[in-house]
A and B are shown apart, each in its own frame.
Chain A
Amino acid sequence: MDTEAVRLARRVSEGAVEWLGRMRGEFALPDVPEHEIDGNALKSLSELTLAAGMVHREAVAGRQCAATAESLLDYAWRQFKEGDMLYRLQTHTPAATHPMEMYALFAAAGYRHAALDGLTAHLTGLRASRVTEHVPNRRLALVASARRIGLPVLDDVDALIEQTWLGGTPEPWMLDVNNAYGVTHTVFHLTDYGSDPDGLPEHLQEYLRLWLPVWVEVFAETRFWDLLLEFLVVGTCLKSPLFFPHVWELVAQAQRDDGMVPNGLTVPPAEPEYAWLNHHHPTIGAAGTGTLAVSRALTLTAAGTGNAS
């Protein structure tokens, strides 16, 4: 990845983090009984946590951006009542997996809740947790969550991988948007968002090095930024990463002056609080993707192999 593309990726991600920082109020959980909180509200706040956690983990952001990310992590943790709410949600519905998945994002960033640690250790040890009927890539999310919390992984991970779309190495022209998000999440969970590229089996590395460039080209042509940003993350999660510098130029052009990155499907309203609804996800994606791209490019440069495409 060339210097200019690294600069663009940094600019995109820092602009996105600052927008998220200003828009944090939109991520606030509604004032309703906890078990009635809408799933989308929980999901948005979790994704904010994930992106801020990546900025925190990679530690390549400038001072202001790093401080904003830290404050967003604190903000999200407070929204979840410093873990108490997640604990109550998990006890209210023990078979649900989302409280543990959300807690794992905080645990990875050093936010711990002793009672949740005990509860999740108990639940993941049950036979029930081997047979949760999620889509296959979501099962891998549970494995990744257990790892982040520090719990033993009792699942047959190879068998779970084989059940995913990516694990089947299917005809690459059969990708559709739904399966594409399945592919990206399979890679995210197996590599813990790029922190462990070796977690992705060799044959899937090979498959993605062959076909990811095609998929990126197709979705760059349609300007579908939300999915495209996820594909860019996938590229940076590979052992020999793919950076797609020409796509970073397109993403940088698409980013609004205020830092928001539109989803590429719907036209964002001018007022950021209205635009938030449909465009916070790609902006979160941009924050995390840019951070990872910069971090991996710097690591490769330091290792003297910085010319990977």
Chain B
Amino acid sequence: MTTPHQPSPNTVETATCVLAGALSRALREDDRSFGVRHSLGDWGDGTGGLAALRVLGADVLTPFVLTGRPLPAEDAALVRTAVRAHPAPRLQARETALWGTRDAALVDALAAVGVDGAGWEGLAPAPPPNGGLAADWLSLAALLVPLASAAHPFADAALRAQLAGRGPDLTRGLVRSLLRRDLLSAARLARWIVLDGQSGPAGQPSRLAGPPLLAPALEHLEVLGSGDPRVLLEVAVARRLMAR
């Protein structure tokens, strides 16, 4: 039995993969027409499809924000419906802060395509200013992986400013995730590196420790992650960010 607020088993994951696949195709091919509702097809009317919109967060807007496509009005309305149907969880402080950053990125992405989403029902409250990022590379990576949908040129200037000089730490996180066969986390960290971490061994040739690692890492993720639409979406966003 399903209720309006409870997607049937497996539907969220499937719908998320369907949408992620459509998003990454739209990011790779500028001339392809794209709409969120259109891409979701039948999923767009169910709670699983709406949940997928919440899972991917601001990334559902990347084909508009990063390629200049106009956002169809029905897609803006669909995002708003998804936020209302699946409000940000507020039970635990860490969860609230995480969703605060994710939803702030969503509002920023909406603003970038001319939609005022501030105040929409279901959004998490703005995150409290963080007290400085973790000093060690492992904790930094653990923090940034779930925040990847906020890794956008227009999002969270305060967070991004704190990443200055953390390129080597971000790259350590990427390497660890690849060694653990956690391609999604690796791809998300690669995206942060593209945005703010190219001062380290990923983006700069080191006179001592070798050539830059970002390009082979992205290629590695595309080849080994070819069966996972969510990995490919992160890489497609990363490549778009690089081209900017």
Residues A211 and B206 in contact, CB atoms below 8 Å apart: no
Complex Cα spacing A170 to B137, Å: 21
**Given A202-B208, A207-B209, A217-B138, residue A173 in contact with residue B179 (CB < 8 A):** yes
- Which residues of chain B come closer than 8 Å to A214, judged between CB atoms? 172, 175-176, 179
**CB <8 Å contact, B217 and A210:** no
A268 CB, min distance to chain B CBs, angstroms: 26
Interface majority SS (helix, strand, loop, mixed), chain A: helix
Q: Which residues of A contact B210 (CB under 8 A)?
A: 169-170, 207
Q: Does A4 contact B (CB under 8 A)?
A: no
Contacts of B174 in A (CB 8 A): 173
Residues 114 to 157 of chain B near chain A (Cβ within 8 Å): 137-138
A218 lies within 8 A of chain B by Cβ: yes
Question: How far apart sit A206 and B216, CA to CA, in the bound complex (Å)?
Answer: 20
Q: Is A150 an interface residue (CB 8 A)?
A: no
Say if the beta carbon of A175 comes within 8 Å of chain B. Answer: yes
In contact, A211 and B175 (Cβ under 8 angstroms): yes
Please tell me which one of the listed residues B137, B178, B220 contacts residue A213 in the complex, with CB atoms under 8 A apart.
B137
Q: Is A152 an interface residue when CB atoms closer than 8 A count as contact?
A: no
Q: Cβ of B208 and Cβ of A172 under 8 Å apart?
A: no
When C-beta atoms are compared, the residue in chain A nearest to B186 turns out to be A173
A63 at the interface (CB under 8 A from B): no
Among candidates A170, A171, A202, A218, residue contacting B180 with C-beta atoms closer than 8 Å: A218
Contact with B along A200-242 (1 / 0, CB 8 A): 0011001100110111011001000000000000000000000
- Determine whether the beta carbon of B208 is less than 8 Å from that of A206: yes
Whether the Cβ atoms of B172 and A210 lie closer than 8 Å is yes
Does B63 interact with chain A (Cβ within 8 Å)? no
Answer yes or no: B49 CB below 8 A from chain A CBs: no
Whether A210 contacts B179 by the Cβ 8 Å rule is no
Given A171-B216, A173-B179, A173-B217, are A210 and B209 also a contact pair (CB < 8 Å)?
yes
A203 touches B175 (CB 8 A): no
Can you sample 19 A-B contacts with CB below 8 Å? Answer: A173-B174, A173-B178, A173-B179, A173-B217, A173-B220, A175-B179, A203-B207, A203-B209, A206-B206, A207-B208, A207-B209, A207-B210, A210-B209, A211-B172, A213-B172, A214-B176, A214-B179, A217-B138, A218-B176
Q: A173-B174, A206-B206, A207-B208 are in contact. List 4 more A-B contacts (CB 8 A).
A: A171-B220, A173-B217, A203-B207, A218-B180
Give the interface of A toward B (CB within 8 A): 169-173, 175, 202-203, 206-207, 210-211, 213-215, 217-218, 221
